[in-house]
Amino acid sequence: MAFAATNGRNRRGKASLFLICCVLLGLCPYLIPASISLLPALILAVLLGIYGLSIVLREIDNRFDQSKLVAFTPEEYQSLPMVDVVVSARDEENVVERLVERLISIRYPKDKITRMIIDDGSKDKTSILLNQLTQTFQEIQVLNRSRSSGGGKSGALNYALSKLNGKWIFILDADAQFNDDILLRIIPFAEKYGLSAVQLRKAVINSGKNLLTHCQSMEMAMDAFIQQGRIFVGGVGELRGNGQLIERNILNKCGGFNEDTLTDDLDLSFRLLIVGANVGLLWNPPIQEEAVESLGSLWRQRNRWAEGGLQRFFDYWSFLFSGRLGFVKKLDLGCFFTLQYVLPVVSSVDLLIATWTHSFPLYWPLSCIALSVSGVAYFRGCRRKSQGPDLPSPKLLRLLISVIYLIHWFIVIPWVTIKMAVLPKKLVWNKTTHQGN
């Protein structure tokens, strides 16, 4: 029986409750004697710091470091499972030609692979270019979908699922770049370790464009390093949208993709967790993609990520903290929910009260721990031996700039929380524009 995706019922009420709780948490230290007002933040900092540091200081798990290309016998090569490579493309005229070239280059038994691009109601030249390209490259299947169909990327992927029958589905973004042996490495890896889903490490192609893309390159390495650490200690593994391999039977068990969320990957990650699926993150080879190049694009992207991230907790909280999950996974979820979502809102409340009362903020120990854990993950992640684009060297100045860059989440999360609590539910899929440079 499939575990159905939620319809996002009463998110506004849940967001309001979350906001009220964060305000009360921010206020509490100011209501106790000044001599012990730092105690709540210190206790939280110690507890969360111990768990966070255990993740970023752990020994590297070489199993998930890289998947080497093995030598297949002709029989082994022909016995590889069927796989569907799927890309949802909307207004991607800048990258669609390169995308088709990449898809055609994938090495895999011809009768075991489907290469599909979903033209999701493009208004630019994407449709024209795809029509021209498929006349030359007949291996590419194009599925046309009306722009008014709704559901965003999830809707496009669900539309394609009924026409696909592979054992595995490999989902890419339109700007994805990868080696031609990607499937010959990731599928044997998934089957060897009994994984139901694998996320490839995301690497930034345009890291050298400006300071913003440089910081995002380091951020992707930090995120992947933390994800591997969480998986290593028995915590939660998450998908990141681009470069994710999912077993079709498990995807069906999860009810497909949720069309009522802004982040299909994060939503699906929780449903995979609830049904007991094993998720892994592979460091090498990476999936390469463009980072956004302007502050406006970053703001829109991070607003969507933050809202989608909160939506999944509001939608599935009763399952996440039920008997379905073990203690370690609940601990992991609790710690990272606090660090990623609670802390930015509470810190904002703390700062406002401190400014009003002309005093010093009281949650600074917890903020320092969160940024310190991130700094260690930056350092160790960027020092890893990595294929694909070179990772920035984690020198002191770069680390400081990248840690300061993370403070933007302390603005984005509170803003999104207030917006979700006050405004009626409205799903707006703000698409990231790909330059194709």
Closest CA to 410 of 334, 366, 346: 346
Residue 403 · residue 219 · CB < 8 Å? no
3-class DSSP state for residue 423? Answer: coil
Q: Which of 393, 157, 169, 186 is nearest to 286 (CA)?
A: 186
Q: Is the pLDDT of residue 428 over 80?
A: no
Residue length, the chain?
A: 437
Q: Residue 46 in contact with residue 335, Cβ under 8 Å?
A: no
pLDDT of residue 150: 79
Dihedral sign from CA coordinates of 58, 193, 325, 157: positive
Amino acid at position 302, single letter? R
Q: What is the dihedral of CA 50, 55, 60, 61, to 10 degrees?
A: 130
**Angle in degrees, CA 139, 142, 146, rounded to 5:** 175
Model confidence pLDDT, tens digit, residues 253-289? 999 999 999 999 999 999 999 999 999 999 999 999 9
Query: Order of strands across the sheet with 113-120?
Result: 140-145, 113-120, 83-89, 168-172, 244-247, 197-204, 279-289
Q: With contact defined as beta carbons under 8 Å apart, do 53 and 373 qualify?
A: yes
Retrieve residue 208's tokens: 């050298």
146 pLDDT higher than 70: yes
Q: Does the CA dihedral 60-63-67-69 come out positive or negative?
A: positive
The string of pLDDT tens digits covering residues 305-362 is 999 999 999 999 988 888 889 999 999 999 999 999 999 999 999 999 999 999 999 9
Report helix, strand or coil for 66.
Answer: strand
Domain-wise residue ranges, the chain: 1-437
Strand partners, 168: 83, 247
pLDDT value at residue 152: 86
Q: Which residue has the higher pLDDT, 1 or 251?
A: 251
Digit-coded pLDDT (tens) for 23-71: 999 999 999 998 899 999 999 999 999 999 999 998 877 766 666 666 7
Q: What's the pLDDT at 436? A: 65
What is the C-alpha to C-alpha distance for residues 127 and 112, in angstroms, rounded to an integer?
26
Q: What is the pLDDT at residue 196?
A: 96
- Report how far residue 148's alpha carbon sits from residue 251's, in angstroms, rounded to the nearest whole number: 25
At residue 431 the predicted structure's pLDDT band, cuts being 50, 70 and 90, is low
Q: Which residue has the tokens 């300071």?
A: 211
Tell me what the mean pLDDT of segment 226-252 comes to: 95
Q: Which residues pair with 145 in a beta bridge?
A: 120
Q: Could you please state the CATH topology (level 3) that the domain comprising 1-437 is classified under.
A: Spore Coat Polysaccharide Biosynthesis Protein SpsA; Chain A (3.90.550)
Amino acid code (one letter) for 228: Q
Query: Residue 124, SS3?
Result: coil
What is the residue-wise DSSP string for 277-330? Answer: --EEEEEEEEEEEPPP-SHHHHHHHHHHHHHHHHHHHHHHHHHHTSTTS-HHHH
What's the mean pLDDT in 377-397?
92
Report the chain's mean pLDDT, rounded to a whole number: 91
Closest CA to 158 of 262, 259, 270, 253: 259
pTM: 0.91
Residue 376: other Cβ atoms inside 10 A: 18
